[in-house]
Amino acid sequence: MDRVALRGLKARGHHGVFPREREEGQTFIVDLVLGLDTRPAAAADDLTKTVHYGIVAEEVVEVVQGEPVDLIETLAERIAQRCLKHDGVEEVEVVVHKPDAPITVPFDDVTVTITRSRV
């Protein structure tokens, strides 16, 4: 299976369990790896035979900016399900970064990584 990756998609969302996270929001960063067969697109040099990663990026931002959830696990699942709606995408790996998580000790990042497939 071939891979198309989008890294560092940034959007502001209001996800989290604490009132401040819901009220003020914060930046979330999303990395995606889409699994699909790119041979038909390459052979025909035809965008319609592959996934349009620009559209996928816009949809992911819509999910992050959309309805708030408590957990980034839930956010990752919603993103994965949105990606799998694209024809040809058989598998997706989603990494949701929450670099401004409310943690009381120094840290660089918090991430959740999930992999989902059509099967």
Mean pLDDT of 5-9: 98
* 98 is known as an active-site residue: yes
This prediction's pTM? 0.95
The pLDDT of residue 119 is: 75
Per-residue pLDDT tens for 46-96? 999 999 999 999 999 999 999 999 999 999 999 999 999 999 999 999 999
The pLDDT of residue 78 is: 98
In DSSP notation, 53-96 reads: HHHHHHHHHHHHHSS--S-HHHHHHHHHHHHHTSTT--EEEEEE
Neighbours of 103 (CB within 10 A): 9
Q: What is the CA radius of gyration of the chain?
A: 15
The pLDDT of residue 102 is: 95
Q: Which of 10, 49, 85, 98 is catalytic?
A: 98
Domain 2-117 classified CATH 3.30.1130.10? yes
The answer to whether the beta carbons of residues 28 and 15 sit under 8 Å apart is yes
Question: Partners of 30 in the beta sheet?
Answer: 9, 96
